Chain A
Amino acid sequence: DAEITQSPRHKITETGRQVTLACHQTWNHNNMFWYRQDLGHGLRLIHYSYGVQDTNKGEVSDGYSVSRSNTEDLPLTLESAASSQTSVYFCASRGTTDTQYFGPGTRLTVL
């Protein structure tokens, strides 16, 4: 069955380190999204992509970057991790229908 996966599921890192969170989907969807979820804020959009080589900034993009070299993957990179980036990160994808499908999430702790 087609699916969307994220790795790692849990990550602990130190302030200042570069971290990359992986997102992989097998639906061949063009549209992919990264969100972060913090208490009291719901889910907030970080970056999104409408296709290969396309990336766009979302509501809370500072300190994050993404790249889209193929349809299946949209890795999220924290260039220099900060404690404020401790959060749960969700990746999602959307095809030609109106529905976004979410991955299981990555819990990131920055010490």
Chain B
Amino acid sequence: DAKTTQPPSMDCAEGRAANLPCNHSTISGNEYVYWYRQIHSQGPQYIIHGLKNNETNEMASLIITEDRKSSTLILPHATLRDTAVYYCIVRTGNQFYFGTGTSLTVIP
């Protein structure tokens, strides 16, 4: 099973782009990369996902390297409400394997 590695914590200035890295060097060809975030003790919230191509939605952009061994979640204009723990997840079939995530703090 592919696992992910993320830095435990990051800071970002309000209004700036937040770039959250993730390594998934053992990912298989059919495994998707998902990003979720968790604010305080709420349930995880879906952000974005992708397989090979870069993806963008109203919340964020996902950049996946060509070899698929790493990816970056980009929050283009971070706000204080984006302070949360961000999880990079590799999906195998129907199962998600969560790591410990990156605690992002957006600083005023």
Interface residues of A (CB under 8 A from B): 31, 33, 35, 40-45, 48, 50, 58, 88, 90, 92, 94, 98-105, 107
CB contacts under 8 Å to A, within B45-100, are 45-46, 49, 87, 91, 94-100
Q: A104–B98 contact, CB under 8 A?
A: no
Closest A residue to B47 using CB positions? A99
How many residues does chain B have at the interface if contact means C-beta atoms less than 8 Å apart?
19
**Contact of A102 with B45 in the complex, beta carbons under 8 Å:** yes
* Structural contact, A48 and B95, CB atoms closer than 8 A: yes
Chain A residues near B41 (CB-CB < 8 A)? 88, 105, 107
Q: Determine the main DSSP class of A at the interface with B.
A: strand
Contact A100 B100 (CB under 8 A): no
Q: Which of B32, B87, B94, B101 contacts A31 (CB 8 A)?
A: B94
Is the CB of B21 closer than 8 A to any CB of chain A? no
Contact status A42-B45, CB under 8 Å: no
Q: Do the beta carbons of A42 and B101 come within 8 Å of each other?
A: yes
A40–B98 Cα gap in the complex (Å)? 11
Partner of B44, one of A31, A58, A102, A107: A102
